[in-house]
Amino acid sequence: MFITQKHISRRTVLKGMGVTLALPLLDAMVPAGTAWAKTAAAQSASRTRLIAIEMVHGSAGATEIGIRENMWSPAAAGTAFDLAPTSLRSLEPYREYLTIISGTSDHSAEAWSAPEVGGDHFRSSATYLTQSHPKQTEGSDIHAGTSLDQMYAKQYGQDTAIPSMQLCIEPVDQAGGCAYGYACVYTDSISWASPTEPLPMIRDPRAVFDQLFGEGSTPQERSARRRANASILDWVGTQVADLRQRLGSDDRAKLGNYLDDIREIERRIQNIEAHNRSGEPRDLPEAPVGVPDSFEEHVRLMFDLQALALQSDLTRVFSFKMGRDGSGRVYPASGVATGFHNASHHQEKEERLRDFQKINTYHVSMLPYFLAKLKNTPDGDGSLLEHSLIIYGSPMGDSNLHNHKRCPLIVLGHANGRLTGNNHVRVPVDTPMANAMLAMAQKLGLEKESFGDSTAVMDLNPTMQTTTAADHRQGN
């Protein structure tokens, strides 16, 4: 047992053929008799984890009926808000970590010239984390902005094995032009390393798993490992056994739970691949073999992989695109049989609008699964949820009108004590979403005075709200 100044490095990995297995934070990584704040482990835990999630097509709550019925944002600002009427109701158990931001507009996603009119679906995603207006082009001369996640990765992600990861649920492999004069890359990615460099997003959970646990391995090694029908844990079994003997009981339990999670995720991926190769008809016949037909299973797998990566400090930055503009996907579990895009064009008819709200509610209901994992994962002197900043929102507001006003936007986590949570921040309609993104950048420790078309730094921990619900019913 580790009772002296000897300890395991936070960067310890176990290696086998085609396998590189990083470890979670263990007590044995903290030298005995050393103040926690002075350890390398504490420094890694002090870096806020950033997870930026986009769900397209806005919300039912951006309409006149939606505002009146509180379909997205609750009626009360401040801390005494009621989530029951809203699409956020599933987040009630996590309201202490929840910051709702109401009233912002994504000005960069609007049409700035006559030729751009109608192209909202094909430029919106590129604006979400950049708050920069994309150049209308179908060629290689694309131009948007550097995204928030990549700004953070460049400053604080370089001391992890993977500076950042970009994941998605819908297909994003289109090339060339999409529609209205826009290159498909604007729709395909929310992460931009520079104004001219959108980053590819990974849809296949198997590819994510291999990137996390097969660093340095060759395709041949990965193929041989799979043909052997063995778990990656089998290739590091001797090292795991040796490590267990040197750990205390608490660390052995932590390590055991971590390895169990890896094996369970691996088993689920193997089962999905076996089913998709079986010849049974698929709901998503064009999808890679590792992609589940079930939206919920796909999202949960991606959340599980993110949680493992954050726990082992392989990366601290994720972007996650949960939908694609124009998607006609049907979500049976939402109780709505209409495709997503068609449902978003509800024509302001109340019955159709309520169906669209059901889809919004279903999408948000995916989040508690992830939040529970982060809350239940110790991370130094807190939990991963306390040490994370999770953005969830859309660069579109009322999808029926293709406008970008009253965009849905929430933040979860305490960002290492920089966010108080349990707050509904209501700002005047047409406040730039960039003001909120600038505030988040500063909460992440980025020294920025502006972001996109920001006009001020938004206060995400207000003690008093002066606007009312009536303010949101004014303006266009």
pLDDT in tens, 269-292: 999 999 999 999 999 999 999 999
Q: Is 252 found in the same domain as 187?
A: no
Residue 40 lies in a domain: no
- Model pLDDT for residues 88-139, shown as the tens digit of each residue: 999 999 999 999 999 999 999 999 999 999 999 999 999 999 999 999 999 9
Residues 358 and 445 in one domain: yes
Q: Among 238, 271, 290, where does a domain finish?
A: 290
Considering the domain architecture, whether residues 302 and 161 belong to the same structural domain is answered as yes
Q: Based on the structure, what is the number of domains in the chain?
A: 2
| Residue 473 confidence (pLDDT) | 47
Question: Does a structural domain hold residue 117?
Answer: yes
Domain boundary among 244, 266, 290: 290
Task: Give yes or no: residues 138 and 232 share one domain.
Answer: no
Chain Cα centroid distance, residue 165:
10
337 shares its domain with 243: no
Same domain, 51 and 65: yes
Same-domain check for residues 112 and 234: no
Same domain, 55 and 185: yes
For residue 76, what pLDDT is reported? 97
Read off the pLDDT of each residue in 32-57 and give the average, rounded to a whole number. 74
Per-residue pLDDT tens digits for 213-260: 975 556 666 666 666 667 889 989 999 999 999 999 999 999 999 999
Answer whether residue 87 is part of any domain: yes
On whether the CB atoms of residues 379 and 386 are closer than 8 A, the answer is yes
- The residue segments making up the domain with residue 123 are 47-203+294-472
286/311 same-domain check: no
β-bridge mates for residue 321, sequence order: 54, 168
Residue with tokens 């505002």: 67
Assigned domain for 368 exists? yes
Percent of the chain's residues with pLDDT above 90:
81
pLDDT category of residue 178 using cuts at 50, 70 and 90: confident
Of residues 408 and 37, more confidence is placed in 408
pTM of this prediction exceeds 0.85? yes
Q: What is the pLDDT of residues 313-332, one digit of tens each?
A: 999 999 999 999 999 999 99
CATH number of the structural domain spanning residue 94:
3.40.720.10
- Residue 213 placed within a domain: no
Least confident of 23-32, 40-49, 58-67, 274-283: 40-49
Q: In the predicted model, is pLDDT for residue 354 greater than 80?
A: yes
Q: Is the pLDDT of residue 470 over 50?
A: no
pLDDT at 80 over 70: yes
| Residue 375 per-residue DSSP state | H
Q: Check whether residue 132 and residue 269 sit in a common domain.
A: no
Which of 290, 308, 338 is the last residue in one of the domains? 290
> How many C-beta atoms surround the C-beta of residue 177 within 10 A?
14
Inside any domain, residue 277: yes
- Residue with more model confidence, 306 or 475: 306
Report if residue 273 sits inside a domain.
Answer: yes
316 falls within a domain: yes
- What is the distance between the terminal CA atoms of the chain, rounded to a whole angstrom? 66
| 236 and 198 belong to one structural domain | no
Helix axes 237-245, 249-276, angle to 10 degrees: 160
CA distance 70 to 369: 24
276 and 407 part of one domain: no
Look-up: residue for tokens 């996907």?
329
